[in-house]
Amino acid sequence: MKVLLTDLFSTLIPGGDAARDVVNAQMGAALGVDPTAFQRAFDASSYDRFIGAYGDLPATLRLIAERCGGAPTEAQVQKATTLRRTLARRLLTAAPAATLDTLATFKAAGWRIGLVSNITAETQLQWPGSPLAPYFETTAFSAEVGAAKPEPAIYLAACNALGVEPADCLYVGDGSDGELAGAAALGMYVVRTTEHADSDPSWNGSSVDKYRRLLEYL
């Protein structure tokens, strides 16, 4: 193995669930609908948002607000958009220094590194400015691929971009969305990380409690 494929949220960076809940409610208020109803509708639409079914972030916010009985103005949509994009930027800068050092060590050792992430459009737009971005040769974002983990297409998009087979890859993730079993089914060697979340306690394969412990696989 000389290819590291890794998840993003709750793997490289904290998932930010509490912060997301707060911002989602704030977006609902900004859009002129009941914050709790909006938060529920927003959460329920996660798969569709992951695969980019609603288009960009403003279009997504408008659609979900309308489902909640609202008719937001352009100014309201822009305010909610700013709230969400600000959150995305904040989360993407939260990678521990040890995680950045680990990626740097893998890269220096000649490993090729790819990201495989269930990610919505606003976070994808913020990725190039992230301190993580320079370590990655390719990214397979669900909103761009049109498929979300554990669907094979998103893993294979990263493999195809690198010109490698799944069996060449070490896949690392916290286990949300059934990602570990999805990667293993394709023949990848899978390691679960619990540094930021205990997302798949039923996983009985390899695990590390800190991302930096992946250095053992060098």
Express each pLDDT in 176-192 by its tens digit: 999 999 999 999 999 99
Q: What is the mean pLDDT of residues 34-42?
A: 96
pLDDT of 69 strictly over 90 = yes
- Going from N- to C-terminal start, the domains of the chain cover 3-14+95-217, 17-92
Domain range 3-14+95-217, CATH architecture:
3-Layer(aba) Sandwich (3.40)
Average pLDDT over residues 97-104: 98
Task: Kindly report the average pLDDT of the chain as a whole number.
Answer: 96
- Is a pLDDT exceeding 80 seen at residue 82? yes
Here the tokens at position 176 are: 């949300």
In the structure, what pLDDT confidence band is assigned to residue 121 with cuts at 50, 70 and 90?
confident
- With bands split at pLDDT 50, 70 and 90, how would you rate the model's confidence at 163? very high
Confidence at 125, pLDDT banded by 50, 70, 90 = confident
Taking the C-alpha atoms of 181, 49, 138 and 127 in order, what is their torsion angle to the nearest 10 degrees?
A: -130
Confidence of residue 124 (pLDDT cuts 50, 70, 90): confident
7 token code pair:
């998840």
Place 57 in a pLDDT band, splitting at 50, 70 and 90: very high
Instruction: Please give the order of strands across the beta sheet that includes 206-208.
Output: 138-141, 112-117, 3-6, 169-173, 189-193, 206-208
| Residue 71 burial (CB count, 10 A) | 11
What integer pLDDT is reported at residue 141 of this predicted model? Answer: 97
* Per-residue confidence band for 61, with pLDDT thresholds at 50, 70 and 90: very high
In the chain, what is the greatest distance between 2 CA atoms, to the nearest angstrom? 54
The Cα–Cα gap between 78 and 154 comes to: 30
Does the structure show a pLDDT above 90 at 60? Answer: yes
Using DSSP's 3-state secondary structure scheme, residue 171 falls into: strand
Of 38-52, 86-100, 118-132, the one with minimum mean pLDDT is 118-132
Q: Report whether the peptide linkage leading into residue 150 is cis, meaning its omega lies within 30 degrees of zero.
A: yes
> CA 200, 203, 209, 213: dihedral to nearest 10 degrees?
-130
Give me the pLDDT at residue 122, please.
Answer: 83
Whole-model pTM: value is 0.93
